[in-house]
Structure 1
Amino acid sequence: MTIDTTPKILVVDDDPSIRTLVHRFLNQKYQVDSAEDGETALELFEEFKPMLVVLDWNLPDTTGYHLCQEMQRRTNVFVVMLSSRTDEADRLKVLSAGADDYICKPFGLAELAIRIEVVLRRMRPVNPSRIVFDQFAIDSARREATLNDQIIKLTTLEFKILYFLASHSGQSWSRQQLIEKIWGVELQQHRRRESC
């Protein structure tokens, strides 16, 4: 018996043309499922258990912002938000809610593919996917931490920091280095804009 380790991606967009196009494009490399609204997305989220969600900001029954928060309460799933909104405040709001990237519409499929690769690469395990310290374990594949086999509730950022530090034990990191390693380029760009 072989287990398919291809990353799972859930595409959530109420525009059928965008949803279908993105689904077919990503399906060439990943396991993909899709939903047109928030209710269906949450049902699929529980069944499909994606590693990453491509999530539209505007949905008929909710917003991508609220859906992102709800998904983050359930797991440490990666979220790439899509939106026609270009306001910096919107981008920062979504990123602070747990999203890992923000792409403005219209966008190219090649750009989406690269951004997804970059997000997935952030947590690529260098050490074994399960790191164990006595009764404390961190599982990067499941993206969860447990103590005495009980799941510890962590936000996306808390899990990223915890896993990064655990997988680089014995090394010290400055705050700026952690930001660069864990949050990536987006926050660096924002800080540079603020300083201008």
Structure 2
Amino acid sequence: MSRVLIVEDDDRLRRTLAINLQARKHEVRTAADGRTALELAASFGPDLVIMDLGLPDMDGVDVVSTLRRRSAVPVIVLSARDGEAGKVAALDAGADDYVTKPFGMEELLARMRAAVRRAAPAEDTATVDTPTLSIDLRAKRVLRGGAEVRLTPTEWHVLEALVRSPGRLVSGRELLQEVWGPSYGDETNYLRVYMAQLRRKLEERPGSPRHLITEPGLGYRFEP
């Protein structure tokens, strides 16, 4: 059982989601607008937020950004905005996943489990140290040479997916689905862009990376 905050201005969908999650023993609170959502997030302390972007009082992306500044609670966005720009904006604001309406309840439940699992790494893999980097998965924090490196939420998700299995080759499809969701698998340009950004921030020599390794045609690997 976990505490779930549902932020959705459609009364029918909000009730449907609440009933389904309560039937699965989740403790649920609901909000129909962004201001109420932020107030409940502070008082209720949810383990997960499910949020629509089309809210009546403020843009859902702004709510996501505010939530992310305040806590590391996983956020799954539900939205009828299916364009790439909308997804990228939500993910870069701090959303952990993006589900396009209409959606199936089982898919949403699977996304919820994955988001909560990513947010709570096993104790023995919570910190990964290399001669130049210290990566704290629980605090979502990276130090390079003792100085904190600021990563966007999407950059962090890509790095985290690799760091969780050091030395293991992660296929491009697996990495895409882990970070962007199960409907992705062929958008290799996403990975090229974000891996290049991570190397610029984390590698001493981005052109000859030591930690973030590409295996052409196969995938990517994190070497401690």
Mark yes or no: TM-score above 0.5. yes
**CA displacement 1:92-141 (0-9 Å, x = unmatched):** 1111111111111112222211111122222343226987x9xxxx694x
Measure how far apart 1:37 and its partner are. Answer: 0.6
The aligned runs of 1:1-80 (5 Å cut-off) are: 6-27=1-22, 28-80=24-76
**Structure 2 vs 1, CA of residues 129 and 9 (structure 1 numbering), >3 Å: closer, same or farther?**
farther
Identify which of 102, 107, 125 aligns with 1:106.
102
Show the counterpart of 1:94.
Answer: 90
Identity of aligned residues (%): 31
Q: Structure 2 CA distance, aligned partners of 1:129 and 1:192?
A: 27
**Structure 2 vs 1, CA of residues 18 and 185 (structure 1 numbering), >3 Å: closer, same or farther?**
closer
Unaligned runs of 5+ in 1: 1-5, 146-152
Asked which structure has the greater CA Rg, the reply is 2
Could you state the TM-score of these two structures normalised by the residue count of structure 2?
0.62
Could you state the TM-score of these two structures normalised by the residue count of structure 1?
0.70
**CA displacement 1:10-58 (0-9 Å, x = unmatched):** 0000111111110111122322111111111111000111121100010
The aligned runs of 1:38-187 (5 Å cut-off) are: 38-127=34-123, 140=138, 156=153, 171=166, 180=175, 183=179, 185=181
Q: Structure 2 CA distance, aligned partners of 1:158 and 1:64?
A: 21
Give the alignment's Cα RMSD to 1 decimal: 3.7
Measure how far apart 1:159 and its partner are. Answer: 7.1
**Structure 2 vs 1, CA of residues 139 and 121 (structure 1 numbering), >3 Å: closer, same or farther?**
closer
Counterpart AA for 1:22 = L
Q: Is the 8 A contact 1:80 1:100 kept in 2?
A: yes
Measure how far apart 1:164 and its partner are. Answer: 8.2
Measure how far apart 1:81 and its partner are. Answer: 0.6
**Structure 2 vs 1, CA of residues 44 and 103 (structure 1 numbering), >3 Å: closer, same or farther?**
same
Counterpart AA for 1:86 = D
